[in-house]
Amino acid sequence: QKNLNIEKIIFKVVQMKFLAMHITNQTLNRCVLNSLSLFRHPNILRLYGYFHDAARVYLILEFAPKGELYGELQRCGTFDDQRSATYIMELADALSYCHSKNVIHRDIKPENLLLGANGELKIADFGWSVHTPSSRRSTLCGTLDYLPPEMIEGKTHDEKVDLWSLGVLCYEFLVGRPPFETKSHEETYRKISRVSEIFRNSYDEGSRDLINRLLKHNPMHRLPIQGVLVHPWVLENSCKKPTAQTESIPQT
């Protein structure tokens, strides 16, 4: 009798009309899903496969037993430097892998990040929700908090939108709330557009330097993803190192 290494999986059913909001062409739907099913990275939730009928897509996904990072952040309030830097290292490593495959996430936030069995971070949402919505933010402002200036201003955008999200997350891990959080959409828009107004001395110099380098209004001025992986604060505090896949990608 053979010993079988059985991994837990989950099925996620996505309405075709919902998926079409993110990917408008059916041929492109299959292309993107096929591409994501080939991804192999410890910090990206694995898509084992999919099938569909006329109305729905059925995703076969890796199971992340420790749930959403959002719930963990709500429970803890803030994370210390070591935990924050480890999550930033894991996320930057995964995003570097995505970008090397010409995939931009565009919606990095705590609700779209899951925790594996060993507490490792996993990017979990490339246009669809993986877990139940009970702990998710229901207001539009909850999403606006993570959008970069080029998106709220209706400009074209590229992979540098994910760099902005890294800066927002780093701040939120350390302070306990997003840097642009307000009670109104208008004020959130204003704070994002005038990014220089948000910084306070509520975290140490190393993390403040990283956040400042990522939260630049001009996308071209943001610290590249490889710069995040070798930033002194990240290297000093992270418990993890970049994967071999990331280390082999040339810096830009």
CATH code, 158: 1.10.510.10
Annotated binding site: 12, 62-64, 111-112, 125
Q: Which domain holds residue 111?
A: 67-245
Q: What crossing angle do the helices spanning 205-214 and 81-100 adopt, rounded to 10°?
A: 30
Residues 145 and 98 in one domain: yes
The per-residue pLDDT for 87 is 98
What is the reported pTM?
0.82
Q: Which residues are catalytic?
A: 107
The per-residue pLDDT for 165 is 94
- Exposure string of 159-175, with b = 16+ CB inside 10 Å and e = fewer, is bbbbbbbbbbbbbbbbb
Residues 53 and 94 in one domain: no
State which of 25, 44, 62 marks the end of a domain: 62
Residues 56 and 73 in one domain: no
The per-residue pLDDT for 34 is 75
Residues 124 and 43 in one domain: no
The per-residue pLDDT for 35 is 75
Residues 28 and 126 in one domain: no
Residues 45 and 87 in one domain: no
| Terminal alpha carbon distance of the chain | 51
The per-residue pLDDT for 19 is 47
The per-residue pLDDT for 218 is 94
The per-residue pLDDT for 196 is 62
Annotated binding site for ATP: 12, 62-64, 111-112, 125
The per-residue pLDDT for 94 is 94
- Domain contains 146: yes
Q: Where are the alpha helices (DSSP H) in the chain?
A: 16-22, 26-37, 69-76, 81-100, 140-144, 149-152, 160-175, 185-193, 205-214, 225-229, 232-237, 244-247
Residues 170 and 91 in one domain: yes
Task: Give dist(CA 215, CA 221) in Å, integer.
Answer: 9
Residues 189 and 108 in one domain: yes
Residues 182 and 95 in one domain: yes
State which of 62, 79, 95 marks the end of a domain: 62
Which residue's entry shows tokens 């110099």?
205
What is the count of structural domains for the chain?
Answer: 2
Going from the first residue of the chain to its last (252 residues), give the mean pLDDT of each consecutive group of 10, the final group possibly shorter. Answer: 53 49 47 78 88 76 90 96 98 92 85 93 67 37 78 85 95 93 88 73 83 94 96 96 58 40
- Domain contains 147: yes
Which residue's entry shows tokens 């009798």?
1
State which of 21, 46, 62 marks the end of a domain: 62
